[in-house]
């Protein structure tokens, strides 16, 4: 029987290094609408859905672990409970397509919250150059290599994106620790964050979009007894990552961080 030993809370800021595009619903025939809008919150500002960030971290971990990917869905699916029990990807990010039986709980360790734009990161100077209050339209022209003219198929694209220099603040991830072995799974999350910095978030990454960096990272440990006493807090004596505030430093110093995950 699994028992929740505590929660690791990982706070960070996500810095956009090259324009990032996480697609939202199209605006249809709305006048002045963009044909490829980014996803927005209820205040009309772009945000990063937790599902997008989590999905990307998952896929990087799948690739790194050499997991078989389902051809239809493009994601890894554990096919049996035995497989799940050996599978770090599904333990961290959640299992798909399997149901629990009486002997196994299919627990998900990682929760990723939505992350919102820091308005101040879009400076007045940037705003002067943006097509919309928080975003830019990057016109891309597809050239037909035979004729040297604009291709008749998908020749002109106008994807909207959040500009380089933007910052999404207070990104929060929560990592549940159910058993001793889960502490080592946490390292795989930090590794995935590091892989992501040399990969991309959102769409059109191979065209240069979506480079992001995690900075100002703070890692806190709230153990089960803290919840019993009501003393959960994101305060300095709960911080367990010293001044290791980037994914690279978290991975490098993981042994010391792990030692602090005690009851
Ligand atoms: Zn799996």
What phi-psi label fits residue 50: left (phi over 0), alpha (psi between -120 and 50 degrees) or beta? Answer: alpha
Q: How far is the CA of 164 from the centre of ligand 1 (A)?
A: 35
**What's residue 1's pLDDT?**
67
CA of 23 to the centre of ligand 1 (A): 27
Overall average pLDDT of the 119-135 stretch: 95
Percent of the chain with pLDDT over 70: 90
The first and second tokens of residue 5, run together, are: 């030993």
Ligand 1 centre to CA of 179 (Å) is 18
Neighbours of 240 (CB within 10 A): 19
pLDDT of residue 189: 98
Q: Flag whether pLDDT at 88 surpasses 90.
A: yes
CA of 67 to the centre of ligand 1 (A): 8
Give the helix ranges, DSSP H, for the chain.
Answer: 50-65, 81-85, 88-93, 124-129, 182-197, 224-229, 247-252, 254-259
Q: Are strands 136-137 and 140-141 parallel, antiparallel or unpaired?
A: unpaired
The phi and psi torsions of 143 (rounded to 5 degrees) equal -95, 130
Say how many Å lie between the CA of residue 68 and the centre of ligand 1: 9
Pick from 53, 5, 252: which is nearest to 170 by CA? 53
pTM of this prediction?
0.90
**Average pLDDT across the chain, whole number:** 89
Work out the angle between the directed axes of helices 182-197 and 50-65 (0-180°, nearest 10): 100
Which tens digits make up the pLDDT trace of 12-69? 999 999 999 998 876 555 555 566 889 999 999 999 999 999 999 999 999 999 887 7
């Amino acid at each position: 029987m699994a028992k929740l030993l505590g929660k690791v809370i990982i706070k960070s800021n996500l810095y956009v290094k090259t324009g990032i595009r996480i697609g939202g619903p199209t605006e249809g025939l709305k006048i002045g609408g963009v044909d490829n809008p980014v996803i927005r919150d209820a205040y009309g500002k772009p945000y990063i859905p937790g599902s997008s960030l989590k999905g990307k971290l998952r896929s990087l971990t799948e690739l790194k672990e050499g997991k078989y990917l389902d051809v239809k869905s493009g994601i890894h699916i554990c096919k049996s409970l035995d497989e799940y029990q050996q599978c770090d990807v599904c333990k961290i990010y959640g299992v798909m397509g399997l149901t629990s039986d009486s002997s196994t709980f299919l627990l998900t360790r990682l929760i990723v919250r939505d992350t919102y734009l820091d308005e101040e990161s879009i400076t007045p100077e940037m705003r002067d150059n943006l097509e919309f209050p928080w975003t830019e339209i990057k016109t891309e022209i597809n050239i037909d290599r035979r004729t040297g003219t604009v291709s008749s198929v998908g020749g002109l694209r106008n994807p909207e994106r959040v500009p380089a220099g933007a910052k999404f603040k207070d990104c929060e991830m929560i990592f549940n620790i159910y058993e001793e072995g889960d502490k080592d799974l946490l390292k795989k999350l930090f590794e995935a964050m590091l892989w992501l910095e040399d990969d991309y978030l959102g769409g059109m990454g191979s065209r240069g979009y979506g480079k992001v960096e995690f900075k100002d990272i703070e890692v806190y440990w709230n153990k089960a007894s803290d919840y019993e006493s009501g003393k959960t807090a994101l305060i300095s004596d709960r911080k367990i990552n010293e001044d290791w505030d980037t994914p690279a430093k978290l991975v490098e110093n993981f042994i010391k961080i792990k030692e602090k995950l005690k009851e």
